[in-house]
Chains A and B, each alone.
Chain A
Amino acid sequence: MRGITPFLWFLFGTGGMVSALLFPIHVLLIGLAFPLGWLDAPDYESLRSLVIHPITRLYLFVFIFFPLFHWAHRFRYTIYDLFQIKHGAQQPIAFLCYGAALLGTIFAAYTLLAIA
């Protein structure tokens, strides 16, 4: 784990940037404006044809992969700080966090490949 810490930090940083730039507008539209009827949501067919496009699928993969690892890295250290976890107990928490992010990434990749 020690040797890849710089890489995990890079994933955290990229995920932080991706989620900061893109998540607010997505949540504003898909999470609030469309369900509450402030704006017209795209209908099923047009959304599907948008998502199937290879560039959209690449965008969505980036949209999901980096933020998942952003969560994993940040959450891992926050748990250490909040509950004063010492060295011995730190490893399992780290594995759980990055493991969950990896599972989410695999699930996302599978879903994005299967939609075509």
Chain B
Amino acid sequence: MAETITLTVSRYRPEQESEPTFQSYDVPYDEDWVILDALNYVKDQLDGSLTFRWSCRMGVCGSCGMMVNGTPKLTCAIPLSDYVSSGPIRIEPLQFFPVVRDLVVDMNGFLGKLSSVKPWIIRDDETPPTEGEYLQTPAELDVYKQFSMCINCMLCYSACPVVGLEPEFTGPAAIALAQRYNLDSRDQGAAERMAVLNEHEGMWGCTFVGECTEVCPKNVDPAAAIQLYKMASATDWFKSVLLPRGSK
């Protein structure tokens, strides 16, 4: 059984280098450890300067996303034992995002995209809270529940080549989030969101590679959300052409 395992980690310290380099660390191999445990071992015992994000260590906060051997993963969810017999584990910051330092990426663009889809209940007619909540049946919840499970871990953005090719592309998580609200029975804002997403940088940048759904740790299936959106947009288009006044 292996005694140690090697992590080859991307380092980037803007105050001392102009581009990232790799640094290798040998950590003890423990079959109960996940990659995040190994990274924390490095930081605690070997090199306190290593910088990375993490929080819940159980796959619900979305903080610890990194490229592991070229695939975006939540490092708290990947056992070291998966890699014990395949050589050093290459760990890099999430692909297609600018690097702030070491394994930390700049999230501001992503956060801007999330808010651009108006991710809140939009009502034509607001009723005051004193009149009670907007009721929703379990069946109505089921319609959008899957798309509400997103933890904003950004793995889907790192998997999507369009994000790399067109940085303004709204992206899988944001479009899935828009669908989460469009399909919510309490929401009346689908037309407003359609105006935002019916653009080249919106849903039409997507060419259905499908990798976003493949890497999503929460089975949100953002690819499906986007294709549903395209279908809705095409339907809207036909309605506006065939029934110019009667489509609402």
Hey, which bits of chain A sit against chain B, CB under 8 A?
Answer: 2, 4-7, 9-10, 13, 77-78, 80-81, 84
Name which residue of chain A comes closest to B237, CB basis.
A6
- Residues on the A chain within 8 Å of B165, using CB: 80-81, 84
Instruction: Give how many A-B residue pairs fall within 8 Å (CB-CB).
Output: 32
Q: Is the interface of B mostly helix, strand, loop or mixed?
A: helix
Q: Which residues of B sit under 8 angstroms from A78, Cβ to Cβ? A: 207
Binding site for A on B (CB under 8 A): 161-162, 165, 198-200, 204, 207, 230, 233-234, 236-238
Known: A77-B207, A81-B207. A2 touches B237 (CB 8 A): no
- Identify the closest chain A residue to B209 (Cβ): A81
Given A2-B199, A77-B207: A10 in contact with B162 (beta carbons within 8 A): no
Q: Are A6 and B162 in contact (CB under 8 A)?
A: no
Residues of A near B230 (CB, < 8 A) are 6, 9
Bound complex: CA A2 to CA B162 (Å): 18
A-B contact list, 27 entries, CB within 8 Å:
A2-B199, A4-B237, A5-B198, A5-B200, A5-B204, A5-B233, A6-B198, A6-B230, A6-B234, A6-B236, A6-B237, A7-B234, A7-B238, A9-B204, A9-B230, A9-B233, A10-B234, A10-B237, A10-B238, A13-B234, A78-B207, A80-B165, A81-B161, A81-B162, A81-B165, A81-B207, A84-B165
How many angstroms between the C-alpha atoms of A78 and B161 in the bound complex? 12
Measured between alpha carbons, how far is A6 from B203 in the docked complex, in Å?
10
Q: In the complex, A81 Cα to B206 Cα: how many Å?
A: 11
Chain B nearest Cβ from A70, distance in angstroms? 13
A15 vs chain B, min Cβ distance (A):
13
A86 closest partner in B (C-beta): B166
Complex A-B, nearest 3 residue pairs according to Cβ-Cβ distance, in ascending order? A6-B237, A6-B233, A6-B234
Residues of B contacting A84 with CB < 8 Å?
165
Nearest CB of chain B from residue A8's CB, rounded to whole Å = 9
CB distance from B240 to the nearest CB of A (A): 9
In the assembled complex, the Cα of A10 lies from the Cα of B199 at a distance in Å of 16
Report A-chain residues with C-beta under 8 Å of the C-beta of B162.
81
Cα distance A4–B200 in the bound complex, in angstroms:
12
Residues of B within 8 A of A13 (CB): 234
Which residues of the partner chain A approach B233 to less than 8 Å between Cβ atoms?
Answer: 5-6, 9
Alpha-carbon distance between A20 and B234 when the two chains are bound, in angstroms: 21
Cα separation A77 to B166 with both chains bound (whole Å): 12
Q: B204 contacts which chain A residues (CB < 8 A)?
A: 5, 9
